[in-house]
Amino acid sequence: MSDRRFQTILITGGAGFIGSHVVRHFVKKYPSCQIVNLDKLTYSGNLESLKDLEAEDNYHFVKGCITDEPFIKKVFEDHRPELVLHLAAESHVDRSILDPLEFVRTNVLGTVNLLNVARDAWENKSTGLFYLISTDEVFGSLGPSGFFNEDTPYDPRSPYSASKASADHFARAYHHTYQLPILISNCSNNYGPYQFPEKLIPLMINNVLDAKALPVYGDGKNVRDWLYVQDHVEAIDLLAHRGEIAHTYNIGGWNECTNIDLVEMLCDLMDEKLEKARGTSRSLISFVKDRPGHDRRYAIDSSKIHHAFGWKPTKDLQEGLSLTIDWYLSNRSWLKQVTSGAYQKYYSEMYKAQEL
């Protein structure tokens, strides 16, 4: 099969962490393709992350909410995208525990709204593709062994993963019922530059810089499979152009690590880079009350995308973490900007509850 080609791509959530990397990658790699970034600019969306693209002719930004039907229709009429890369979401598990309804609004209703508009816009056309970027958390939690693969039954256990699972089901239902061309990938934990400091890695980096306690939930033995964000972006590019319609692909880093091992590795790297005595940052580690319903282990088997297209992650955790820390150290103004205002309120409410 020859690669699909697109003249216009609509990327939702392009001002967020993964979205900003996706937008940058597509704008630079495909200069003759128009890239439309649609984002509501919630607390986790930040145009500062895309400043370097403002002068690019093929980059366009539209501000709005994916649940707003007239607005989404207008975006489709104005830009006529042939590919939707749907990343816009409420993305943080802890926030989903505090406010599940917001996750239903954006992740479920917003996705169905986009599916409806895409279905109507692409009726009788074979050019459209709706690609939903999803998470491995839809599969639930693993014991000490085994991996999630594309046939693993869904078993979401947090309000976040339940809302993402619901979006995945709707996308498949739209293919089955209306023949809407869809594709889904389920990816493991991403990390890298521009990640909002509510997620484990940037939160720990930010707290080391502020000499604040490093809150490790429970016994710190929960396992995540970490993937450097650019590796995820390369996989999205491949699948958008070559992935089989209606297929699901798992994307993972082959980089399993317990939270405590990861935080210790991060502390040692930061001591080295900040020229502090070894052990300085580790002394900030504080075990706190566990997250309710905390999934024990995620691990992804990415052999389908590897065998189909040769994709594999290029960075191990040590290298990816070092690059990530370097970026945060060189971009303290970004960190300062995103942690001003509402972040402080979230942080004190969230971590006061964790008895920190």
Among ligand NAD, ligand TYD, none, residue 16 binds (CB under 5-8 Å by kind): ligand NAD
Specify whether 160 is catalytic.
Answer: yes
Q: Tell me whether residue 38 is exposed, middle or buried, using C-beta atoms within 10 angstroms of its C-beta: 0 to 12, 13 to 18, 19 or more.
A: buried
Q: Which residue in the set 84, 216, 251, 300 belongs to the binding site for ligand TYD (CB under 6 A)?
A: 216
Given the complex with ligand TYD, which of 192 and 215 has the nearer CB atom? 215
Given the complex with ligand TYD, which of 116 and 286 has the nearer CB atom? 286
Residue 93 near ligand TYD by CB under 6 A: yes
Pairing label, strands 223-228, 182-187: unpaired
Strands (E), the chain: 8-12, 34-39, 59-63, 83-86, 129-135, 182-187, 189-191, 214-217, 223-228, 248-251, 256-258, 285-288
Among ligand NAD, ligand TYD, none, residue 217 binds (CB under 5-8 Å by kind): ligand TYD
For residue 250, what are the CA distances in angstroms to 142, 153, 247, 320, 336? 15, 13, 10, 20, 34
Instruction: Check: CB of residue 33 under 8 Å from CB of residue 57.
Output: no
Q: Mark 88-107 with x for binding to ligand NAD (rule: CB under 6 A) and - for no binding.
A: xxxx--------------x-
Residue 22 φ then ψ, to 5°: -65, -45
Q: Any bridge partners for residue 86, and if so which?
A: 12, 132
Give min distance, CB of 201 to ligand TYD, in A: 7
Specify whether 272 is catalytic.
Answer: no
Strands (E), 101-155: 129-135
Q: Tell me whether residue 328 is exposed, middle or buried, using C-beta atoms within 10 angstroms of its C-beta: 0 to 12, 13 to 18, 19 or more.
A: buried
Give min distance, CB of 16 to ligand NAD, in A: 2
Specify whether 137 is catalytic.
Answer: yes
Residue 23 near ligand NAD by CB under 6 A: no
Can you say how many angstroms the Cα of residue 91 is from the centroid of all Cα atoms in its chain? Answer: 7
Q: Which residues are within 8 A (CB) of 345 and not within 5 positions of it... i.e. 6 or more apart?
A: none
Residue 338 near ligand TYD by CB under 6 A: no
Given the complex with ligand NAD, which of 281 and 321 has the nearer CB atom? 321
Among ligand NAD, ligand TYD, none, residue 53 binds (CB under 5-8 Å by kind): none
Residue 250 near ligand TYD by CB under 6 A: no
What's the CA gap between 276 and 343, in Å, rounded?
27
Q: Which residues are within 8 A (CB) of 151 and not within 5 positions of it... i.e. 6 or more apart?
A: none
Residue 187 near ligand NAD by CB under 6 A: yes
Q: Look up residue 245 and give its DSSP letter.
A: T
Selected catalytic residue, list 39, 90, 94, 136: 136
Residue 343 near ligand TYD by CB under 6 A: no
Residue at token pair 């062994």: 145
Q: Which residue in the set 11, 36, 66, 203 belongs to the binding site for ligand NAD (CB under 6 A)?
A: 66
Q: Which residue in the set 138, 182, 184, 203 belongs to the binding site for ligand TYD (CB under 6 A)?
A: 203
Q: Which residue in the set 9, 15, 93, 233 belongs to the binding site for ligand NAD (CB under 6 A)?
A: 15
Residue 42 near ligand NAD by CB under 6 A: yes
Q: Which residue in the set 10, 23, 82, 110 belongs to the binding site for ligand NAD (CB under 6 A)?
A: 110
Among ligand NAD, ligand TYD, none, residue 88 binds (CB under 5-8 Å by kind): ligand NAD
Binding site for ligand NAD (CB under 6 A): 12-13, 15-19, 39-42, 44-45, 65-67, 87-91, 106, 110, 133-135, 164, 187, 189-190, 196
Question: Contact positions toward ligand TYD, by CB under 6 A?
Answer: 93, 189, 199-200, 203, 215-217, 222, 224, 259, 291
